[in-house]
Amino acid sequence: MPRHQEIERKFLIRQMPERLTDFPHEEIAQGYLAVGPDGAQVRLRKKGDHHSLTFKRGTTPAREEREIELSAEQFGTLWPGTEGHRLIKVRYEMPWEAHLIEIDLYRGRHEGLAVAEVEFENEAMCTAFAPPDWFGEDVTGSARYSNIALAVD
């Protein structure tokens, strides 16, 4: 049975890691079709040739997440519905110890914003995580740094 929970922490980046551009990276276009008061959201994402629709609910480090793959045609049909609720970022994937750190560098009106996200298999691992010294403030659960807030800001 697939896991329908995302457990992650998000940090601002105090100092960029060395040789960041050596790591795999891709531009992501992301837009929101709907947002609910309980943290529920329906998101569209294009990352390379991969198109997806994701439903998320919750505001804690562990939240419900369900994703389905879309064809380029399906994505193109839905994308206009995200107008005014979009963002662009470049995501770098950097292995660190037993984790994969996803570093997002935002473009457009949020140029200069850099955040790191780390996903975990369970809440115990999430709680025990000791971030590298180049991480800054832990902004997990902060509405200000949520992608939806950045998309409509």
**So which residues are the catalytic ones?**
32
User: How many angstroms separate the Cα of 86 from the Cα of each of 45, 52, 94, 106, 109?
Assistant: 10, 15, 25, 11, 11
Q: In whole angstroms, give the CA distance from residue 101 to residue 119.
A: 8
Q: What's the CA gap between 35 and 14, in Å, rounded?
A: 30
Asked whether the beta carbons of 97 and 35 are under 8 A apart, the reply is no
Q: State phi, psi for 88 to the nearest 5 degrees.
A: -125, 135
DSSP three-state, residue 88: strand
CA distance 53 to 129: 29
Report the SS3 class of residue 4.
coil
